[in-house]
Amino acid sequence: ILAMTVIHLLFLHETGSNNPLGLNSDADKISFHPYFSYKDLVGFAVVLITLTALALFAPNLLGDPDNFTPANPLVTPPHIKPEWYFLFAYAILRSIPNKLGGVLALLASILILMVVPILHTSKQRSLTFRPITQFLFWTLVANVAILTWIGGMPVEHPFVIIGQ
């Protein structure tokens, strides 16, 4: 990929880009080597020096302080969370104390997402002139956003109630 990127940049600066108008683009072309090579080298050097200084002088600066707590096999650490796209499902599972009820609620939420396109039978595909459907769509979006936020929060009083 890197080699193809370099070849693409070289050809772009030597022959110019796509020219649908047919105008002469020689005035826009400059030689690649002295200008862009030195610019890239300076940028690479700045990034390398910054990362080296960070790694040598402050190695724990970007670390997570939860990684230094003693291990307890009986308790899941609070910083362990599922990926962001599973947080709404995590909030649904946590909001119902019964395990079977949580799984059924999760399956019902996925079923709702599967049924929504089937229920959309109008010949008019846009929601612009359908205010009730528009309201229901944005209610669904807000619901998923709130559940995603709740799934990333700890299991404490206000968050559990909001998730239910």
Kindly list the catalytic residues: 13, 17, 39-40, 83
102-130: pLDDT as tens digits: 889 889 988 988 887 787 777 777 777 88
HSE of 58, CA atoms in CB hemisphere, 13 A: 7
Predicted pLDDT of residue 54: 94
Averaged pLDDT for residues 73-86: 78
Q: State whether residue 151 is helix, strand or coil.
A: helix
Among residues 107, 59, 58, 92, the alpha carbon closest in space to that of 160 is found at 92
pTM for the structure as a whole: 0.50
Averaged pLDDT for residues 72-96: 81
17-44: pLDDT as tens digits: 666 666 776 766 777 778 888 888 999 9
CATH topology for the 73-163 domain: Helix Hairpins (1.10.287)
Phi, psi dihedral angles at 120 (to 5 degrees): -85, 85
User: Residues 6 or more apart from 105 whose CB is under 8 A from it?
Assistant: 92, 93, 95, 96
